[in-house]
């Protein structure tokens, strides 16, 4: 069974985080929520508190993918987290998948892993991706190699289903998508 980390920073976008976790768990992916602080209760951008499974300091890199929900304040927090930036670089050096939605692709750009990679982001964040060498598109979900990006809360379902497809295959992703009325 594939295993992934979904990183939660204070101010994360709740719709994105919960949609990703819900869809992937329905697809039988083991999802662990990782708090970027030592506090396991992480408050999102709209004051919804989500309980993480473990703090970043206890998260190793033995999972199959790293996923970053966006949200303006959460992304700003992630951009300042050098340990997260370093972990993302380690994931890519190990040829593991990374994914980010909304403003969070800016974190991938800062980590230096979007150079020459087709990607997308929340409208207005494109300059930061371009500065990181990304080839920016306006598609809702973009997969380029082991990197997947998406635009924002309204695309979270599509994004999560694409991640499910990558992790457990098209048949299971379609089954989950149909059961949830996405397809």
Containing structural domain, residue 92: 3-179
pTM of the model: 0.98
pLDDT along the chain (183 residues), means of 10: 97 98 98 97 98 96 94 98 97 96 98 98 98 97 98 98 98 98 95
Give yes or no: 125 in active site.
no
Residue 17: per-residue pLDDT: 98
Give me the number of domains the chain comprises. Answer: 1
pLDDT score for 61: 75
Q: Which of 102, 117, 121, 141 is catalytic?
A: 102
We report the CATH number of the domain holding residue 135 as 3.40.50.880
**By CB neighbour count within 10 A (0-12 exposed, 13-18 middle, 19+ buried), where does 95 fall?**
exposed
Please report the beta strands in the chain, taking only residues with DSSP state E, as ranges in sequence order.
3-8, 30-35, 41-43, 49-51, 54-55, 65-68, 97-101, 118-119, 135-136, 141-144, 147-150
């Amino acid at each position: 069974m594939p295993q992934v980390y979904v990183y939660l920073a204070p101010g994360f976008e709740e719709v994105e985080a919960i949609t990703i976790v819900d869809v992937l768990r329905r697809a039988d992916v083991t999802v662990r929520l990782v708090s970027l602080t030592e506090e396991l209760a992480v408050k999102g951008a709209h004051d919804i508190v989500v309980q993480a499974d473990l703090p970043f300091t206890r998260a190793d890199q033995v999972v199959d993918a790293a996923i970053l929900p966006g949200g303006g304040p959460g992304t700003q927090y992630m951009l300042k987290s050098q340990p997260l930036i370093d972990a993302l670089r380690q994931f890519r050096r190990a040829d593991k998948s990374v994914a980010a939605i909304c403003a969070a692709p800016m974190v991938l750009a800062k980590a230096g892993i979007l150079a020459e990679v087709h990607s997308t982001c929340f409208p207005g964040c494109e300059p930061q991706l371009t500065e990181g060498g990304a080839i920016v598109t306006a598609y809702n979900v973009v997969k380029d190699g082991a990197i997947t990006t998406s635009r924002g809360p309204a695309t979270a379902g599509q994004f999560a289903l694409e991640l499910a497809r990558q992790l457990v295959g098209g048949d299971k992703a379609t089954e989950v998508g149909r059961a949830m009325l996405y397809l």
